[in-house]
Chains A and B, each alone.
Chain A
């Protein structure tokens, strides 16, 4: 509470500062404003370029740069998007992306929460050492698993399936999930759990009714990260998919003829961006918090 009061005080003082001094400060900071405006725009240009390109007539790609359209946006058209929505292969891959991202998020979150709870609150020998080993698995690069799993997936009939992709993402998302959730769960007051135990609740009930609801902030951050990670994946799907592939791989297979296929590549890429961007804008706070919690993936 004390901290909040101080912050409010500081704000109050700033608000009553003389107007003259503030405008002078603004002037002195003009170069900073200019630099930030410059870089802010610079950072936006590539994405805007992709979007405008995706709206250009196919015949225009080789004729003029997308920036010419900023002055006459009336010549842009959604025809390319219509063509993409009529493209069965792309639409199938979009659906695969959704399935993989949802499954690849739900599985590690649930499995990670179970394990995180065990590492935080259950007693068993070697608990902290096993936890350190799990955290150590964070640095195992995906590349270490590609070749053996490629062979194993053929035997297990998991090759070219949504389940195969989901389980792979789940496993490689787990070390971070367990790390994040264990560290969050351990901060939950012990008294709450003791009280529940006295009331006769079993460990599973405590987990469902107490830990999961209280762990929401951490679970949200984790889920956002995992969702973006699986939605945006290329490497895993490129290795373990042939016909059941997410949109990244579907676009990738069109890239041999980059400039020839740009009327398909640009809108399909933009469609693939919309979901992650929406997630990012809606959950920006959780995203940043998750990042600060120590993402080392």
Chain B
């Protein structure tokens, strides 16, 4: 290919119209262009043609299979997932990046410490998408005690859904039965009765630190008294009986239900596990441990599981590229003549109107550049996906570039389908070529 390029450049011009010394000048130009021609010819042009041809041959490259490889892309489950995911990337990410960049750029213009903000948001652009992936993998660790994303969600979740004092516990005798997430005593009670609710299978680490020796409840005149305790004694003991060394369970939510099952009173247990429902009317009641006692603590969002892995990677990607959009859009904003904006304001336009009618239209070309750049990037996204998605989720997080690499080099070694995926990526970015050339011709 390189040779061809050189011959074209050094080709003798048609006889007649050539000024003297032209041949020498062409040879000079060829010398300046030769290294570039070799590199582009061998590393870009030759492989491009080769890949296109290769995509019509089978895995081994021996037989011509027409469009079979392309058909595989649209029928194999893994590759269809990659197509769908990449479509999602195209639909969501460029728009989001441009929007976030626009908001940041507009806000940043109004503060004096814009440089500091720009540096913070722009910095991820400098690091590798691969390193960014590892960085976010640490952010996304499942355990809310270790991963900062889940820790943040947990701190909010704890306000609205406080976790119960006993995330796990089971009845110690058959007198207590599990019902609707809580537990209740089988036999009804009346005023003056006592209720003993024994629980076991509570890990020692879950026992509240203020727990004290449980006490057998004394009957209460006109009320119901009871105890809820950890009915477990190291080395044995009798289930259903409060014994020494068995601790009361403080903070347990207890409900008193009438015959119809509706709640008439509720209370919570003291440090020794005792509780009282005073001034209970006639009739029989059921004592129940409210489900809130057993509410599980927030266990962490499974960011990198099959369902959320793609959105999780997209968030990391936004983190990288928002700075790019912001800087380019900010430059566009700075280029808008101040007097145009002032004129609009003088004419009585509100800030929002100024933005919509003046700023936004003038920014349109810059927004297009950001959008188109992101479109190309998103079609080729690879590093961040392979570094964030754990092996078990890579099929679910798959995108075209990752599928291309895994099909060709990731153990599958199918150069036929791999070439076809590469050509598909190429075909998808080609429309952008037209845009680029148009832009170049306008500028050049």
Query: Shortest Cβ distance from A82 into chain B, in angstroms?
Result: 20
Interface 9-residue window, one of B160-168, B225-233, B282-290, B424-432: B424-432
> Which residues from A are CB-within-8-Å of B33?
114-115, 118
Give a binary string over A24-40; 1 marks a CB under 8 Å from any B CB, 0 the rest. Answer: 00000100110110011
Question: Is residue A222 within 8 Å, beta carbon to beta carbon, of the partner chain?
Answer: no
The reply to whether A171 and B436 contact each other, CB–CB distance below 8 Å, is no
> Which residues from B are CB-within-8-Å of A85?
none
> Which residues from A are CB-within-8-Å of B379?
141
Interface 9-residue window, one of A73-81, A87-95, A193-201, A284-292: A284-292
Question: Is residue B126 within 8 Å, beta carbon to beta carbon, of the partner chain?
Answer: yes
Question: Is residue B297 within 8 Å, beta carbon to beta carbon, of the partner chain?
Answer: no
Question: Is residue A72 within 8 Å, beta carbon to beta carbon, of the partner chain?
Answer: no
Q: How far is the CA of A287 from the CA of B120 in the complex (A)?
A: 15
Give a binary string over A177-190; 1 marks a CB under 8 Å from any B CB, 0 the rest. Answer: 01100010010000
The reply to whether A148 and B111 contact each other, CB–CB distance below 8 Å, is no
Contact partner, A239, options B51, B129, B405, B444, Cβ 8 Å: B405
Give a binary string over A42-56; 1 marks a CB under 8 Å from any B CB, 0 the rest. Answer: 011111011001000
Query: Shortest Cβ distance from B278 into chain A, in angstroms?
Result: 44
Q: How far is the CA of A168 from the CA of B436 in the complex (A)?
A: 23
Decide: A46 near B135, CB < 8 A? Known: A137-B44, A147-B54, A175-B40: yes
> Which residues from B are CB-within-8-Å of A255?
134, 387
Output the nearest chain B residue to A142 by Cβ-Cβ distance: B380
Q: How far is the CA of A279 from the CA of B123 in the complex (A)?
A: 11
The reply to whether B29 and A277 contact each other, CB–CB distance below 8 Å, is no
Q: How far is the CA of A168 from the CA of B126 in the complex (A)?
A: 21
Interface size counted on chain B using CB atoms at 8 A? 104
The reply to whether B130 and A141 contact each other, CB–CB distance below 8 Å, is no
Q: How far is the CA of A285 from the CA of B33 in the complex (A)?
A: 30
Contact partner, B29, options A124, A137, A172, A252, Cβ 8 Å: A124
The reply to whether A235 and B382 contact each other, CB–CB distance below 8 Å, is yes
Question: Is residue B108 within 8 Å, beta carbon to beta carbon, of the partner chain?
Answer: yes
Give residues of chain B (403-426) contacting chain A, Cβ–Cβ below 8 Å: 404-405, 408-409, 415, 418-419, 421-423, 425-426
> Which residues from B are CB-within-8-Å of A140?
44, 48, 426
Question: Is residue A134 within 8 Å, beta carbon to beta carbon, of the partner chain?
Answer: yes
Give residues of chain A (232-249) contacting chain B, Cβ–Cβ below 8 Å: 232-235, 238-239, 248
The reply to whether A147 and B123 contact each other, CB–CB distance below 8 Å, is no
The reply to whether A50 and B32 contact each other, CB–CB distance below 8 Å, is no
Q: How far is the CA of A45 from the CA of B135 in the complex (A)?
A: 10
Q: How far is the CA of A132 from the CA of B107 in the complex (A)?
A: 38
Q: How far is the CA of A29 from the CA of B109 in the complex (A)?
A: 11
Contact partner, B419, options A147, A235, A287, Cβ 8 Å: A147
Question: Is residue B104 within 8 Å, beta carbon to beta carbon, of the partner chain?
Answer: yes
Interface SS of chain A: helix
The reply to whether A135 and B436 contact each other, CB–CB distance below 8 Å, is yes
Q: How far is the CA of A255 from the CA of B387 in the complex (A)?
A: 8
Q: How far is the CA of A141 from the CA of B28 in the complex (A)?
A: 31
Given A35-B107, A135-B436, output 14 extra A-B contacts at Cβ < 8 Å. Answer: A43-B120, A47-B124, A64-B146, A65-B145, A143-B380, A146-B408, A147-B47, A170-B43, A174-B36, A231-B128, A280-B123, A281-B119, A291-B327, A296-B436
Please name the 10 residue pairs, one residue from A and one from B, whose CB atoms are nearest each other, closest first: A171-B43, A232-B128, A280-B126, A118-B32, A148-B47, A145-B47, A115-B36, A148-B50, A143-B422, A124-B29
The interface of chain B, by Cβ under 8 A from chain A, is 5, 8-9, 11, 13, 22, 25-26, 28-30, 32-33, 35-36, 39-40, 42-48, 50-51, 54, 104, 107-108, 110-111, 116-117, 119-132, 134-139, 141, 145-148, 151, 316, 319, 322-324, 327-328, 331, 369, 372-373, 376, 379-380, 382-383, 386-387, 390-391, 401, 404-405, 408-409, 415, 418-419, 421-423, 425-426, 429-430, 432-433, 436-437, 439-441, 443-444
The interface of chain A, by Cβ under 8 A from chain B, is 29, 32-33, 35-36, 39-41, 43-47, 49-50, 53, 61-62, 64-67, 107-108, 110-112, 114-115, 117-118, 122-127, 130, 132, 134-150, 152, 167-168, 170-172, 174-175, 178-179, 183, 186, 203, 207, 228, 231-235, 238-239, 248, 251-252, 255-256, 258-259, 262, 265-266, 269, 272-273, 276-277, 279-281, 284, 287-288, 291-292, 294-296
